Structure 1
Amino acid sequence: MRDMEIWLKDAGATRKLGEELAGILSPGDILILNGELGAGKTTLTQGLAQGLGVITPVTSPTFTLIQEYRGRYPLYHIDLYRLEDPEAMLDLGLEEYFGGEGITVVEWGGRLDPYLPPAFLEIKLEYAPEGRRAIIKARGPAYERVLEELKKIVGPGG
């Protein structure tokens, strides 16, 4: 597993990270987002959607659980904040979105352990003194490639 850290000075930088990822990720890729409330998970997803050419406003699917958006690739935006039982999450058929024709983003994805697929890109957003810190971990060779591409764009330390 490889990882990197990026400092994000504001919401605009968080959105920009999402936009950059849109140029690197491919259909079937999975992005797991973790972090406290207000850390920027939905903001990052909005940037990803913008980078994919989604024109529909992207909001957190906290109450609907899953939102699908159409862009260059489908974007499946899942929010597990309100679900605490991993077994109940499986009953929703979330695994159908993993490795599908679009890019799947799961906010609060850590709640799916140990049911997560073996390979995905994980981003943990943390509050920092001047903005946010994104800790990005590649789980699996395909995501190590994504991480290397991202490093070329933003630099090794962001």
Structure 2
Amino acid sequence: MDLILWRHAEAIDHPDLVAGAPGDRADLSRRLTPKGEKQAARMAAWLDRQLPSGARVWTSPAQRAEQTAQALDRKYKLSDVLVPDGDPLALLELVQWPSSKAPVVVIGHQPTLGRVVARLLGLSEEDCAIKKGAVWWLRFRERHGSTQTVVVTVQTPELI
């Protein structure tokens, strides 16, 4: 199985930096900045060339994540499992890791995506930060009777 974790591109700041919280109404309404729109378009163009036509796409219902998904110009589904500060195990269950036959793209938030990467690679949760607009492409495989999670690639919009 291939799991492609894509952090939403750069978004405007939360309007209430003091009392605002991940996942509150104001947070979910945050849109991409002009720079974020360019990041999303650049990464989407690269991903579109790499992904098979049967790849499934899931996104957070946050406006910035949905805008990032729209740049890919493929059908996608929203899931409340992918809200900011979501549960990494719920994300893995949603995408049916590691048994799904089709590649799955997940557009979401930090720290959840970093926690998923850390869990799958055996790192501590604090060790894996994912840059805005970046993609981590992971693959599950079996080799000689043991299972492995392999990092296929890590891409940032600036490097594409």
User: TM-score, normalized by length of structure 1?
Assistant: 0.40
User: TM-score, normalized by length of structure 2?
Assistant: 0.40
Mark the structure with the bigger radius of gyration: 2
